[in-house]
Structure 1
Amino acid sequence: MKYKHLFFDLDHTLWDFETNERETLQELYDMHSLESRGVTSFEAFHASYTIHNENLWDRFRKGLITRNDLRDKRFRLCLLDFKIGDETLVQQLTFQFLDILPGKKALFPETKETLDYLAAREYPMHMITNGFEETQLLKMKNSGIDHYFTHIITSELAGSLKPYPEIFEFAMAKAGTTASESIMVGDAMELDIKGAHNVGMDQVYFNPANPPGDFTPTYTIRHLRELRAIL
C-alpha cells in the first residue's frame, strides 16, 4: 500500500456540521422564544449567526482574536442584528450551544461503512481538526466514530491551526510517520488540501458542493465511498 497512515478532517468531512449546527440553532431559537424577542424568523437568525461565525473563525485562524472572543461575539453580534442587547441571553446561548452541539450525531452518508472498510484494511487513522478539543472529542464520541482513530490532533493540542505546517508536522510526529507515507482527507481547500500539500502530503478533496478551483488535489471525491477506489 502506498499510504501507511490516513489523516482526516472532522467537520464537513465526516461529521455533518451543517445539519448538526442547524438543529442546535433551531433548538435555541425555540427554547428562548427568539421570535417574540424580535428575531424575525429562524432563517434570519441562522443566516446572521452563520455570517458572524464564519467571519470570526477567519479572524481566529489568523490570530486576530482569542477563542473566548469567538465564542462570545458570534451570538452577541447576531443578536445585535435584531437590535437585541441582552448580555444574559448572549451568555445563555453561548453556553447552551456548546452544550447541545457536540451531542448531535449526523454523519455524512456511509461514514461508518467507509471507516469500517479502512479499518479492515488495517490503516492507522488519525484526526486533524481546528475545532476546540473538548467539543471535537465529544462530537466524535457521541457520533460513534472516536474508536476508529489512533491519534486525535486538535489545534489546541498542537498549538497550531490548519493550514499552518506545524499542525501537520505535529500530527505526523505523533503518528510516527512521514508526509510521503501519509494522505489527508478533507473538505476545506485552503485548510486541509493546500495545508497538506505544503508539507508534502498527498490529499483527497471531499467536495460534495465546491469545485477544486485553481488548485488540483491528488484526488477529488464526491462521496466518501469513493475512498475505496483510492485506498
Structure 2
Amino acid sequence: MKYKHIFFDLDHTLWDFETNSKLTLKELYDTHQLTERNIPSFEAFYQHYTEHNDRLWDRFRKGFINRNELRTKRFWLTFLDFKIADEKLSKTFSDAFLQILPTKTALFDGTTDVLTYLRNKNYDIHLITNGFEETQLLKLRNAGIKDYFTHLVTSETAGSLKPHREIFDYAIAKANTTAGESIMIGDAIDIDVLGARNVGMDQVYFNPTQLPQVQLSTYTIRELNELMGIL
C-alpha cells in the first residue's frame, strides 16, 4: 500500500459548506425580517454576501486582514450594499452566524461511506483546514464524523494557511509520517492541490462541478465514492 496517511480538507470537500452556510443565512434573514429593511429578497442578500465573503477570505489567506476583520466586514459590507449602515446589526449577524453555522450537518454524498471504508482499510485519516479550530471541531461533532480523524490541523494551530508549506509540514510532522506516504484530498486547486504538491505529497482534486482544471493533479474525482477505486 503506497499511502498510509490520508489528509482531507473539510469545507467544500466533506462538509457541505455552501449548503450549510446558505441554510444559516436564510435562518438569520428570516429571523431579522430583512425584507422589511429594504433588502428585496434572500437571494439578493445571499449573492452580495457571497461576493464579499469570497473576496475577504482571499485577502485573509494572503495576510492582508485578520480573522476579526473577515468575520465582521463581510456582513457590514453586505448591509452597506443595501444602504443599511448598522454596526450593531452587522455584529449581531456575525456572532449568530458563527454560532449557528457549525450546528448544520449537511455532508457531501458518500462522506461517511468513504471515511468508513478508509478506516476499515487501516489508513490514518487527518484533516488540514484553513478554518478556525473551535468552529471546525463543532462541525465535526455535530455532523457525526469527528471520530474518523486522528488529527485535526487548522491554520490556527499550525500558524500558517494553506497553500503555504508550513501548514503541510506541520501536519506531516504531527502525523509522524512523510509526504511520500501521504495523499491530500481537497476541492481547491490553488490551495489543496498546489500546497500538497509543493511538499511532495500526491493529491486528489475533488471537482464535483467539473470546473476547468488549469493545474494537473495526481487524481481528479467528481464524487467522493471514486476514492474507493484509488485507495
Report the residue type matching 1:227 in the other structure. Answer: L
Please give the per-residue CA displacement for 1:199-223, whole angstroms capped at 9, x wherever unaligned.
Answer: 1000000000143522110000010
- Separation in 2, partners of 1:216, 1:86: 45
Match of 1:135 in 2: 135
Structure 1 residues without counterparts, runs of 5 or longer: none
Please give the per-residue CA displacement for 1:87-144, whole angstroms capped at 9, x wherever unaligned.
Answer: 1111110010000000000000010011000000010000000001111110011001
Once the two structures are aligned, what percentage of the paired residues are identical?
64
Please give the per-residue CA displacement for 1:158-210, whole angstroms capped at 9, x wherever unaligned.
Answer: 00000000000000000001100000000000000011001100000000014
1:168 aligned onto 2:180: no
- Separation in 1, partners of 2:36, 2:171: 47
1:42 aligned onto 2:34: no
- Separation in 2, partners of 1:64, 1:31: 33
Is the CA contact 2:210–2:222 (under 8 Å) kept in the aligned structure 1?
A: no
Match of 1:183 in 2: 183
Match of 1:73 in 2: 73
Is the CA contact 1:164–1:195 (under 8 Å) kept in the aligned structure 2?
A: yes
- Separation in 2, partners of 1:34, 1:180: 52
- Separation in 2, partners of 1:217, 1:34: 43
- Separation in 2, partners of 1:4, 1:118: 10
Match of 2:202 in 1: 202
Match of 1:57 in 2: 57
- Separation in 1, partners of 2:61, 2:185: 20
Structure 2 residues without counterparts, runs of 5 or longer: none
- Separation in 1, partners of 2:186, 2:105: 19
| Partner SS, residue 92 of structure 1 | helix
1:216-227 aligned within 5 A: 216-227=216-227
- Separation in 2, partners of 1:113, 1:212: 27
Report the residue type matching 2:135 in the other structure. Answer: T
Is the CA contact 1:186–1:205 (under 8 Å) kept in the aligned structure 2?
A: yes
Calculate the TM-score normalised by the size of structure 1.
0.99
Report the residue type matching 2:2 in the other structure. Answer: K
Is the CA contact 2:8–2:185 (under 8 Å) kept in the aligned structure 1?
A: yes
Calculate the TM-score normalised by the size of structure 2.
0.99
Report the residue type matching 2:124 in the other structure. Answer: P
- Separation in 2, partners of 1:45, 1:211: 25
- Separation in 2, partners of 1:145, 1:204: 20
Q: What RMSD over aligned residues (CA atoms) do the two structures have, in Å?
A: 0.7
Is the CA contact 1:189–1:212 (under 8 Å) kept in the aligned structure 2?
A: no
User: Which aligned runs of 4 or more in structure 1 are off by greater than 3 angstroms?
Assistant: none
